[in-house]
Amino acid sequence: MKAVSFSAPRKTEIIDTPEPQLGSEDVLVDVHYIGLCGTDLNTYRGLMPLVTYPRIPGHEVSGVIVAKGKNVPASINKGDRVMLSPYAHCGICPACRVGRSNCCQFNQTLGYNSQFTII
Ligand SMILES: [Zn+2]
Ligand SMILES: [Zn+2]
């Protein structure tokens, strides 16, 4: 599978990545649309202090679910059109406990300090 990668600041290349392995709580999304924003541009420029390289950019993603793991809720199905939330939070830090998951001290943002595999 091919992906765009920022191998270093201001250096972009097309790389081969392994095919995604579907875990029991995962869905596999066939990406139809992505957005590239200022964060991606600044990642490319090397201006984001938390970004490490190589980095596959992109965190504004939509598509269609093509497979789901055995523990995914029945309300989520193949064929569903989805938009991904790029943020992961822990749910247990002080910020999360008061409902401010956007301020989670362990926040992971796709394409920034975390990444996923897309098809
Ligand atoms: Zn963005
Ligand atoms: Zn948290």
Could you list the residue range(s) of the whole structural domain that residue 98 is in? 2-109
Q: Which ligand is nearest to the CA of 42?
A: 1
Ligand nearest to the CA of 107: 2
| Beta strand residue intervals within the chain, DSSP E | 2-8, 11-16, 27-35, 60-68, 81-83, 87-88, 108-109
Q: Are 81 and 62 in contact (CB under 8 A)?
A: yes
3-class DSSP state for residue 11?
strand
69 Cα: distance to centroid of ligand 2 (angstroms): 25
Q: Determine the Cα–Cα distance for residues 28 and 118; give it in Å rounded to an integer.
A: 8
Q: 23 CA distance to ligand 1 centroid (A)?
A: 26
Residue 48 lies in a domain: yes
End-to-end C-alpha distance for the chain, whole angstroms: 7
Note whether residue 117 is domain-resident: no
CATH code for the domain in which residue 82 is found: 3.90.180.10
119 in any annotated domain: no
Evaluate whether residue 70 is within a structural domain: yes
Does residue 112 surpass a pLDDT of 80?
no
* pTM for this prediction: 0.75
**Inside any domain, residue 20:** yes
pLDDT per residue as tens digits for the range 27-64:
999 999 999 899 899 999 999 888 889 998 888 899 99
Residue 14 CA to residue 7 CA, distance in Å, equals 10
Q: Which ligand places an atom closest to the C-alpha of 98?
A: 2
